[in-house]
Amino acid sequence: MIQANATYKPGDRPESLIRYSGGLSAKVTVQLPSSLAFFVLCCENNFPCAGGATRTLMQKFIFSSLIIAGFIQAQPSQALSTDKTKTVTLDTMEVKGRATDLLGVAASASQGVAGQAELSFRPLARPGELVEMVPGALATQHSGSGKANQFYLRGFNLDHGTDFSVMVDGVPMNMPSHAHGQGYLDLNSVIPELVDNIDYGKGPYYADAGDFSSAGYARMHTMPVLPKGLLKFTGGEFGYYRALLADSKNIGSGNLLAAGEFNAYNGVWQQPEDLGKYNGMLRYTVDNKDWGLSVNAKAYHSSWNATNQIPARAIDSGTLDLYGSMDRSDGGDSNRYSLSSNLWSRGDGYKNDFNAYLVYYDLNLYSNPTGFLDNPVQGDQVHQTERRVVTGGNGEQTWFAKWFGLDVDNSLGLQIRHDEVIGAALNRTEQRRIFQTVRQDDISETSVAVYLKNQVQWLEKFRSISGLRADFLDINVSSRTLAANSGQRNASLLSPKLSLIFGPWVDNEVFVNLGYGHHSNDARGATLQVNPVSGDPANSVSPLVRSRGGEIGLRNQFIPGLNSTVALWWMQMNSELIFVGDASSTEPSGRSERHGVEWSNTYQVNDSLTLDADLSFSKAQYVGVPRETNHIPNSVGRVISAGAVVQLPFHTFTTLRLRHFGDIPLNDSGNLTAGNTTLVNWGLGYEHKDLKFELDLFNVLGSKSNDTAYAYTSRLQGEAAGGVDGILKHPVEPRMLRLTASIRF
């Protein structure tokens, strides 16, 4: 646990109270008048408090504006005296999760934090579901456990990450100009048990969130130290096995954390997945009160067979089983190795945070989405492959000041990233054997961003956060197959941001947010001159695409234990332009507009019962086209999730979770839809001292609904030339049981 010391005096603002970065907790020295110190200590030790104040209210009074505050557990380290001013040390304030008190801290109603305390009671069928800790976010799968998930948020079909960005320990996970698709986001290298907390935000209102962040962002932070070692083993139906070993030790002036994970899975499919996944992590962390550093090394390898979406007509006719495949040789393998470092420091009038990273990544992906449409003899399987090296870093410096008696914070940030992509290729294959190279390119892509952020506490109940972000992108494509598609381009954008925060009044805070954002397009689309498939002339696209949005929100914590937020939001994209990896071409789809409402709730009823419920409804449509054809395919209009964790007698607990999504058009006319999907998961466990046993039942109701679905033309062997238009779908996995045993040592 990383700790730091700070001093707070009456009249200081919350920012000066916290001097920490990247840790679980902070150790805080508070200088208070002796009468108030006595008041605090009485409440912290459950003695009667003056004026009938409660412990909860007292904690809110002092710590409601702290980013790291949650359910604060503090013990005084020294006795009181009769001095007018006395130093009282309050230790170990831990982030607990979405119930964290963010009044006076958050910039929007849709900003928040989720912690390991919640993750430990939420069984995950796959690592990508970590993003579902973000209210309204959805992660599905359609092509094997080793491939990136399909993500959805705020009416966006994010494909594999086009408008939702994720960082893990400051290292960006989205891949621009990826062989499979722009913004490809693979979270299979993350070990969920080592995620300390996830802070998230939605909308383009945050100056430090850039490319791929129009719909939202999530920043995952792994644990710097483990209180005890962890050995964990899971076994389940359909050949599921997973083992995890992790521990941390004091070495020198810091802590070394080491972890290794192995996962094997055959799956429910007629073609076994034969998943083999290996994860490793080493993290060394030093904390020296007002400064600290960490070095993080990670390694990941995965190989798998994939069962992709198949035509609904084949299932209906009995030609293919629900869990069957058009091409049993689909699948792939991937590697990711990274080395990163973080350095932070804090002082009375400043704070800063810097990081640098180096990533090696490669992928071989074999997919056959259309069967025998283009090649009736050998089939339509394609091989998408690349190798890349990513280097970069982020830095932010914040100064705390007073201007004309007003508390003012000013931040200056710099973000640099360079991707060197080697041999990004699209090949035609049969049974994973290449018989034609459609396109192969080397890509250099450099992005630089500078941002300014200013926060002013204008009045006791009103503050503003304004920002200005400048993004610069330089790309260079060298085509190995068609010289006409080589080229160099650059682009830049200025994105202003503004947040107005009113309150809190009676534990209610009102937010008004406005901002511009963007996403980048694939570099190959920006230099495209000739369609590599047809040979026809093609139009290139802008390297950067503008987005804009607004939000009005309310954060309510009036009822003790209940954290509730409501947000009404709107967003517009200048273009839905994306590079389509499956076809190696760019498809423009015009301007789009989205709007919706979100209602998120977390309720700590008592020490034994925790409830949460999130409802998200959105509408996505193209702008400037007839109403009959303005639906955006695969935009999810409704996402509902809810859950309960109950602590039972005799050290047992049970969990119940529901996830529902629907209102999903599959074509621009909206006459084809994916249907509704409702999943219920249940868990029962025993936890006492260092032992924990968990029994998890996924898909309790045995749903056979769609995990993902699409509408396009495909052809099975024996069908007429030209194929058949219709729905292709990938079902959710059936009811399955998994048993987990873990021990702390």
Is the residue at 395 inside a domain? no
Per-residue pLDDT of 570-581, as tens digits, reads: 999 998 765 454
Domain final residue, candidates 53, 70, 90:
90
374 close to 380: Cβ distance less than 8 angstroms: yes
pLDDT given at position 122:
86
Reported as a single tens digit per residue, the pLDDT across 224-268 is: 999 999 999 999 999 999 999 999 999 999 999 999 999 999 999
Residues 6+ apart with CB under 8 A from 82: 34
Instruction: Indicate whether 134 belongs to any domain.
Output: no
Query: Pick from 90, 110, 127: which residue ends a domain?
Result: 90
pLDDT score of 587:
65
**Residue 409 clears pLDDT 70, i.e. is over it:** yes
Mean pLDDT of all residues belonging to the chain: 87
Of the pLDDT bands very low, low, confident and very high (cuts 50, 70, 90), residue 714 is very high
Element (H, E) at 351: strand 350-367
- The predicted pLDDT at position 646 comes to 96
Whether 499 is covered by a domain: the verdict is yes
Does the pLDDT value for residue 57 go beyond 90?
no
Per-residue three-class SS string for 463-498: EEEEEEEEEEEEEEEEECCCHHHCEEEEEEEEEEEE
Q: Which of 93-107, 319-333, 394-408, 458-472 has the lowest mean pLDDT?
A: 93-107
Task: State mean pLDDT over 447-471.
Answer: 97
Using CA atoms, how far apart are residues 178 and 524, in angstroms rounded to an integer? Answer: 10
Residue 128 located in a structural domain: no
pLDDT in tens, 416-440: 999 999 999 999 999 999 999 999 9
Whether the pLDDT of residue 281 is over 90: the answer is yes
318: tokens are: 């009995």
Residue 708 belongs to a domain: yes
Any domain includes 719: yes
Q: Read off the tokens for 242.
A: 């997973």
For range 133-146, the mean pLDDT: 92
Q: What is the predicted pLDDT for the residue at 54?
A: 35
- Give yes or no for residue 9 having a pLDDT over 60: no
Residue ranges making up the domain that contains 554: 220-245+415-744
Query: How many domains is the chain built from?
Result: 2
pLDDT at 86 over 60: no
In the structure, what pLDDT confidence band is assigned to residue 583 with cuts at 50, 70 and 90? low
Q: Is residue 598 part of a domain?
A: yes
Which pLDDT score is estimated for 101?
A: 78
End of a domain among 55, 90, 125?
90
34-44 and 55-63 helices, crossing angle to 10°: 130
Statement: residue 585 has pLDDT above 60: no
Question: What is the structure's pLDDT at 588?
Answer: 61
657 has pLDDT over 60: yes
505-553 confidence digits (pLDDT tens): 999 999 999 999 999 999 999 999 998 888 889 889 899 999 999 999 9
Share of the chain above pLDDT 90, in %: 78
Write the pLDDT tens digit of every residue in 185-224.
999 999 999 999 999 999 999 999 999 999 999 999 999 9
Structure confidence at residue 22 (pLDDT):
35
* pLDDT reading at 89 higher than 70: no
CA distance to 163, 174, 191, 196, 243, per residue, from 279 (Å): 27, 19, 8, 17, 10
Q: What is the mean pLDDT of residues 686-701?
A: 96
Nearest to 710 by CA among 671, 669, 665, 679: 665
pLDDT of residue 96: 55
The answer as to whether 389 is a domain residue is no
- Note the Cα 667 to chain centre separation in Å: 27
Would you state the pLDDT for residue 534? Answer: 83
CATH code for the domain in which residue 669 is found: 2.40.170.20
